[in-house]
């Protein structure tokens, strides 16, 4: 054909492909989300095969295992008993609660591990919403006051990063102010910036028994149809003092990751959520997909789209494969 330009030359061997590869995933980019509870034992989760809800002892062992594999960051998600839930979600700010005890235990055992906490009321709220419910509505400003108390409590327990996942307006600036006023200027904020009202969170809510008792989360989480709004949220969170921004879910929202990446200089995280994990796991377990190849491809795609960090339940497994 007399072709002077042949792109296939750059694909001719593993060595050449390695030289020209544009995206590399490494362990340092991975954040491992873990479920915890206040029992002694560890519970494998029926709604998330391959994922366990850990007691404190189990959590420390799992953190040690993951850290040995090269995982440097974890984010904690608590399940609290129904008896500790209330309409005012006091347990979210209890300094002797499960999360602060877990933070202290982790930082004691693995001081160099980056411990991230989820700031939102849903695990503690008898209404199952991320904010307080009044007259059937999730109220913004009162919720933000509690979120500030919750973030402060996490900071006092030793959290390195607090991650508000509630999608209330103005919470990043308020939390930044509350942290700075108490001398926690070194505690970072990873803002769930573009968190969509996604059906892919279903298995997570099963794992924590945290589904909303009535209604849905559409008055605070974003409409999956929107992308300009994600850029608007990114600009606000950046202006309010966020250190890192997050897009969630990840795989079905690669265009949003890319848009947020293009419109901020902050680091961008993306969360491969429970439903994304489950699709890969279920297909792998039934023999329909090659798990390792598909998981690595999915995470590479998330990084290629512009994510600097990826939260994934596959984190230790990926670290092992890499
Ligand atoms: C709640 C929260 C959710 C997830 C992380 N934090 C669920 C929700 O918003 O209902 C979902 C994570 C996942 O599905 O893996 N603050």
Average pLDDT, the chain: 96
- Contact status, residue 103 vs residue 117, Cβ threshold 8 Å: yes
Write down the pTM of the prediction: 0.96
Q: Which domain holds residue 285?
A: 25-321
Q: For ligand 1, which residues put their CB under 6 angstroms from it? A: 118, 120, 122, 130, 165, 201, 204-205, 217, 273-274
How many other C-beta atoms lie within 10 A of the C-beta of residue 89? Answer: 26
Residue 6: inside a domain, yes or no? Answer: no
Ligand 1, closest atom to CA 200?
Answer: 14
3 C-alpha vs ligand 1 centroid, how far in Å?
Answer: 52
Residue 259: inside a domain, yes or no? Answer: yes
34 C-alpha vs ligand 1 centroid, how far in Å?
Answer: 12
Q: What is the pLDDT of residue 211?
A: 86
Residue 13: inside a domain, yes or no? Answer: no
**Count of domains observed in the chain:** 1
Angle at 123 between CA 122 and CA 129, to 5 degrees: 20
316 C-alpha vs ligand 1 centroid, how far in Å?
Answer: 20
Report DSSP letters for 55-112, one per residue: PHHHHHHHHHHHHHTT--EEEEEE---GGG-BTT-GGGG-TTSHHHHHHHHHHHH-TT
Residue 3: inside a domain, yes or no? Answer: no
Task: Give the active site residue among 79, 195, 217, 281.
Answer: 195
Annotated catalytic, 195? yes
Residue 75: inside a domain, yes or no? Answer: yes
Residue 113: inside a domain, yes or no? Answer: yes
pLDDT at residue 30 tops 90:
yes
User: Residue 48 maps to which CATH number?
Assistant: 3.20.20.70
Residue-wise pLDDT for 215-274, tens only, equals 899 999 999 999 999 999 999 999 999 999 999 999 999 999 999 999 999 999 999 999
Residue 16: inside a domain, yes or no? Answer: no
Question: Across the chain, which distance is largest between two alpha carbons, in Å?
Answer: 76
Counting residues of the chain whose pLDDT is more than 90, the rounded percentage is: 95
Annotated catalytic, 68? no
pLDDT at residue 209 tops 90:
no
How many other C-beta atoms lie within 10 A of the C-beta of residue 282? Answer: 12
Q: Are strands 133-134 and 114-119 parallel, antiparallel or unpaired?
A: unpaired
Residue 17: inside a domain, yes or no? Answer: no
């Amino acid at each position: 054909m007399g072709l002077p330009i042949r792109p296939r030359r750059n694909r001719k061997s593993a060595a050449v492909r390695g030289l020209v590869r544009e995206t590399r995933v490494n362990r340092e980019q991975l954040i491992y989300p873990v479920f915890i509870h206040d029992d002694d034992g560890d519970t494998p989760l029926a709604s998330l095969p391959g994922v366990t809800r850990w007691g404190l002892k189990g959590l420390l062992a799992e953190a040690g295992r993951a850290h040995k594999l090269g995982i440097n960051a974890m984010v904690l998600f608590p399940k609290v008993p129904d008896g500790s839930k209330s309409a005012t979600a006091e347990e979210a700010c209890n300094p002797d609660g499960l999360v602060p005890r877990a933070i202290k235990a982790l930082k004691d055992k693995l001081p160099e591990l980056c411990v991230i906490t989820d700031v939102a009321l849903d695990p503690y709220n008898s209404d199952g919403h991320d904010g307080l419910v009044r007259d059937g509505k999730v109220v913004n400003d009162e919720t933000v006051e509690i979120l500030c108390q919750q973030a402060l409590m996490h900071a006092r327990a030793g959290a390195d990063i607090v991650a508000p996942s509630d999608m209330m307006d103005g919470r990043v600036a308020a939390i930044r102010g509350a942290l700075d006023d108490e001398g926690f200027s070194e505690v970072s904020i990873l803002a769930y910036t573009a968190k969509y009202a996604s059906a892919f969170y279903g298995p997570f809510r099963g794992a924590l028994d945290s589904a909303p008792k009535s209604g849905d989360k559409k008055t605070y989480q974003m409409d999956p149809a929107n992308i300009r709004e994600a850029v608007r949220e990114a600009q606000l969170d950046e202006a309010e003092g966020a250190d890192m921004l997050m897009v969630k879910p990840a795989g079905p929202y690669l265009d949003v990751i890319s848009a947020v990446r293009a419109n901020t200089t902050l680091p961008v995280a993306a969360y491969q959520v429970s439903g994304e994990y489950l699709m890969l796991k279920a297909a792998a377990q039934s023999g329909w997909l090659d798990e390792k190849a598909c998981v690595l491809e999915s995470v590479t795609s998330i990084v290629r789209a512009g994510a600097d960090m990826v939260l994934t339940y596959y984190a230790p497994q990926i670290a092992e494969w890499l």
